[in-house]
Chains A and B, each alone.
Chain A
Amino acid sequence: MRSLRLPSFALAIPAWAWLVTFFVVPVGAVLYFSFGYKPGIFGTHATDVLSFDRYAEALSPTFFEVFMNTLWVGIAGTLLCLAIGLPVAYWMAVKAPANRRGLLIALVMVPYWTNFLVRTIGWQIILAPEGWMSQLLQTVGITEGPLEILYTRTAVLIGVVYNYLPLMILPLYVAFDRVGPALREASKDLGANRVSTFLRVTFPLARPGIIVGLLLVYIPLMGDYITATVLGGAQGNMVGQLVASQFQAAQNWALGSAMAVLLILVIMVSAAAIGLQLWLVSLPFRARNRVVLEASA
């Protein structure tokens, strides 16, 4: 019987259509506003006169200042997520009992079914300077004086890492799981020790998943602005807040759109730059003997 010969992108068509209809078209319209202006106090946008003026306005020193802070939070947060999440994902995919893995994945997700604000309050209760945790730590002697974490850079990172950890753990888990025990065994059969196996077999093969994890954390984190401020206060000022402020408080959609475009561009550029550096760093760890290993699997 004849099988249907579908073009290569056929399976992607539903997603494409969905995203184009509900994302590209409306967001395209909003981006079009970025060439417009704000018509008077009570209007939000007008596009009868087009210009790049909003972009000039958006490229202010404040934008750069805040972007630098955002970059710091973004990179530090992502790297921390990686450092914390990678061992967990590896443990879940490789070391944990196989029949428990589904449960473990679910357990990673369960905390996030509690509302974001409520989770934050949970942290505020834990980190309260005059709360039980602070008193406990003082009694035990780990800290002198009350806990002074809230409204500091540390709190920003705690908040960010806490909220983005599953976005790192899950793709990493999937990636390590993909490698499979067969290849690891084969590597050990061929005389590699554990570290070597990890560096030359597991890690390189899991790389696509690791990259997904990094992207899934870094990119939305750079556009996010609430997470960093809830525990960190002013220290968590992020550039997404500038965009939101134009759409909300200032009701200036034109300027907001221009800032959003700028934000998107700088995030993409920074992601590419960082990706490039990571790639350079990981060159020594590339799976060079890929063909040989696969043949023996």
Chain B
Amino acid sequence: MAEKSTPIRILASTEQVPILQRAIDRRRFLSFAAAMGGTAFLAACSSSGGSTSSAPVATGGALENSLSIYTWGDYDSPEVVESFTSDFGPKVTFDSYGSNEELISKLVAAKGTSGYDIIVPTGAFIPQMIENGIIQPLNKDLLPNLEHMDPAFLGRSWDPENEYSICKAWGTTGFVYDKTVITRELKDWNDFLDAAQNEASGRTSVLDDPAEVTGLYYWANGIDWNTTDEAEIAACEDFIVNTLAPHISAFDSYPGGQAIPQATQVLMQAWNGDARIGIMESPDPDRWQWVLGAPATELWMDNWAIPVGAPHPEAAHAFIDWTMVPENQLLQVDYIGYHTGAAGIEEAASEAGLEMLDLVFFTEEQIATMRDGEVNDAQQANVDIWNKAKAAAGA
């Protein structure tokens, strides 16, 4: 990310400046005095904004009594959580959010006093969180189980050194279609777009996310889906709003939870784990065919991160480390249905008898076609296209 030799320019509101300064100071301190007890340091930099809790830093000390995790709903295997509490002690409480923007707004507004120890942001939003100084660097000495992680899923573009985040689960985008209605074989995004305008017209759903909707055009046409080029964006808008949108009947990010089991749509853009659950729970799984987006698609990743001001950082590190133990990785994969980024998990999963593994694990060639997402200048344009598409679809 930012090179340490050039000065970092951060745009932040005045209330956030002290927090940012603390974060930067803390990073420098940790880099050459990791094992020091930090009490004197903490006393020196206690907050001036009225909050009385000075945030402790994880140094490998004793674990606290409790742990507060702010994550997506129902995103961890209860067995893993229970075993953590019984083996290590801290009692875990979960709170949930429904979108990354909500998470960011909350943390920025709370200014370090949110009370959460672990959060689970999606990768594309991590640069923003680093820049706003709301997540703190991880102490990798306390995370020895990192060695069990597959290096392909560490060091992603938003955090190349994994200073702030570690993969929790990743997924990709493709589509599912009803073989009894669409009798030809669909193989890539162009087939998807074609079928949406023909056999599946009026019974097609796409994901309810601006980048996913605009991604349809970019992936099908070999353009980088994070592009900020105006001509490309205009072409995308024209296609999505004028050509595709009138055939869309719903913007649904979770077809696996309803549309697939109930067969209310014929062609659905979907995330792999969601599609997998939908097909597995459908009364007639054979009628559905999953297709990984081709020639390009995305790789989205939810990550463990520790917010600034976390009251129990020792327990937080211990928990993250605990989830990376291979047995627990398997439990997590089984529970949430997504790849957790662990090494060798595919063999373990097939041995354990998990079904439909082709929707969870992908080959290297397939992974090579998956691109990371970014939040950049095109975001506003993407949102506009998405809104216009919705208007056109509902007309």
A and B touch in the complex (CB under 8 A): yes
Residues of A within 8 A of B (CB): 38-44, 62, 65-66, 69, 121, 124-125, 128-131, 150-151, 229, 233-237, 241-242, 245-252
A150: chain B residues at CB < 8 Å are: 264
B376 contacts the other chain (Cβ, under 8 Å)?
A: yes
Residues on A with C-beta less than 8 A from B393 are: 234, 237
Bitwise, B102-123 to A at CB < 8 A (1) or not (0) is 1011001000000000000000
Residue of A nearest to B247 (CB): A234
B11 and A43 form a contact (CB under 8 A): yes
Closest to B129 in A: A42
B102, B377, B382, B390 — most chain A CB neighbours (10 Å): B390
- CB < 8 Å: which of A40, A41, A62, A131 contacts B391? A62
A41 and B379 contacting across the interface, CB-CB below 8 Å:
yes
Q: Is the CB–CB distance between A41 and B390 below 8 Å?
A: no
- Residues of chain B within 8 A (CB-CB) of A241 are 387, 390
Query: Are B101 and A233 in contact (CB-based, < 8 A)?
Result: no
B386 within 8 A of A: yes
Count residues of B near A (Cβ-Cβ below 8 Å): 40
Given A41-B128, A249-B210 in contact, is the A233-B262 Cβ separation under 8 Å? Answer: no
Residues of B within 8 Å of A131, CB to CB, are: 262
Task: Determine which of B101, B248, B388 lies in contact with A249 in the assembled complex, contact meaning CB atoms within 8 Å.
Answer: B101
List B residues 360-395 near A (Cβ within 8 Å): 375-377, 379-380, 382-384, 386-388, 390-391, 393-395
Q: Is the interface of B mostly helix, strand, loop or mixed?
A: helix
**CA distance in complex: A72, B273 (Å):** 37
When distances are taken between beta carbons in the complex, the residues of chain A under 8 Å from B391 are 62, 65-66, 69, 237
Q: Does B99 contact A (CB under 8 A)?
A: yes
23 pairs, CB–CB < 8 Å, chain A vs chain B: A40-B11, A41-B128, A41-B375, A44-B108, A62-B387, A130-B263, A233-B205, A233-B249, A233-B250, A233-B251, A233-B252, A234-B393, A235-B249, A237-B393, A245-B210, A245-B386, A245-B387, A249-B101, A249-B209, A249-B383, A250-B380, A251-B104, A252-B380
* Contact partners of B262 in chain A: CB under 8 A: 124-125, 128-131
Task: Determine how close the nearest CB of chain B comes to the CB of A41; give it in whole angstroms.
Answer: 6
Residues in A with CB closer than 8 Å to B383 are 245-246, 249-250, 252
Residues of chain B within 8 A (CB-CB) of A129 are: 262-264
Tell me the smallest distance from the CB of A238 to a CB of chain B, in Å: 9
Contacts A41-B377, A234-B394 aside, 16 further interface pairs with beta carbons under 8 A come to A39-B11, A42-B132, A62-B388, A66-B387, A66-B394, A69-B394, A128-B264, A233-B250, A234-B248, A234-B250, A234-B393, A235-B249, A249-B101, A249-B210, A250-B379, A251-B379
